Chains A and B, each alone.
Chain A
Amino acid sequence: GQNIDQPTEMTATEGAIVQINCTYQTSGFNGLFWYQQHAGEAPTFLSYNVLDGLEEKGRFSSFLSRSKGYSYLLLKELQMKDSASYLCAVAMNTGFQKLVFGTGTRLLVSP
C-alpha cells in the first residue's frame, strides 16, 4: 500500500520559521511535490524534488532524502497569509501525474 504521513496541524508566530515534515512509503517514486491550499481554494504548486537535497525558492525551501523516505517544507519569515494547508504528494512511476497525497498539514500563523 501507499503511506504518506504528515502532522495534522501546526501553529507558529508571524516572522518565525516553521518546518513541516513528510514521510512516505510508496510502491514507486518519481518525485515529491508540496502544494499549498487555502480553505475553499485550489491547491497551488510550491515545489518539486526528485533528487536528494535542498531546493530553495524565496521564503520556501524543500528538502528530500530518498533513502530515508523523508521530505520537509521550510517556511521562513512567516506571514499571516501563509495560514493554509500544506499537502505532501508523491508521484508514482507512471509517466504521468498520478500523485499520492498525505492528508495535509494545517498551519495557523498568529500575530
Chain B
Amino acid sequence: NAGVMQNPRHLVRRRGQEARLRCSPMKGHSHVYWYRQLPEEGLKFMVYLQKENIIDESGMPKERFSAEFPKEGPSILRIQQVVRGDSAAYFCASSPSPSEKLFFGSGTQLSVL
C-alpha cells in the first residue's frame, strides 16, 4: 500500500511564476491536509479538504494561494505569482476519517529565485 505521494520533490520557480504542487493520498483516504514548513519554523496548517470540498482554509494566505481536491485525481496546491517568501517545504497529509491520525508525504521543497 503506497504512502502519500507528493510531486515534484523539488520545484524551482522564478518570482512571478506559478507553482503547482500535487498530492495523491493513501488508498482509501478521502481527507487531505496541506502544511507548510518555513525555514527554522514548525509545520503550519494551511488547508483541509475532502473530496470536492474545502472544509477549512484558515491557514491559507488570502491571496495567490488556492487548493483543490477533485473527484478524480490528486489534490493540487497552487501558488500564483510566487515571491521569495513562498520558499518552503510543503507537506501533504491524508487520513481515512477526520479524527484519525495523519500520514504525511515526503514534501515538496519550493525554491523561488
CB–CB A101/B102 < 8 A: no
Which residues 71-106 in B have Cβ within 8 Å of A in the complex?
91, 93, 95, 98-106
Contacts of A101 in B (CB 8 A): 35, 42-44
CB–CB A40/B43 < 8 A: no
Contacts of B48 in A (CB 8 A): 96-98
Contacts of A61 in B (CB 8 A): none
Q: Number of B residues whose C-beta is below 8 Å from A?
A: 27
Contacts of B91 in A (CB 8 A): 42-43
Cβ contact of A42, chosen from B31, B98, B99, B105, cutoff 8 A: B105
Shortest Cβ distance from B95 into A: residue = A97
Contacts of A42 in B (CB 8 A): 3-4, 91, 103-107
Shortest Cβ distance from A40 into B: residue = B106
Which residues 33-58 in B have Cβ within 8 Å of A in the complex?
33, 35, 40-45, 48, 55-56
Contacts of A97 in B (CB 8 A): 31, 33, 48, 93, 95, 98-102
- Least CB distance, A3 to chain B, in whole angstroms: 11
CB–CB B98/A96 < 8 A: yes
Given contacts A4-B42, A43-B43, contact A99 B104 (CB under 8 A): no
Residues in chain B within 8 A of chain A (CB atoms):
3-4, 31, 33, 35, 40-45, 48, 55-56, 91, 93, 95, 98-107
Pairs across A and B, CB under 8 Å, 13 listed? A4-B42, A33-B101, A42-B3, A42-B91, A42-B106, A48-B101, A95-B99, A97-B48, A97-B93, A97-B95, A100-B42, A100-B45, A103-B41
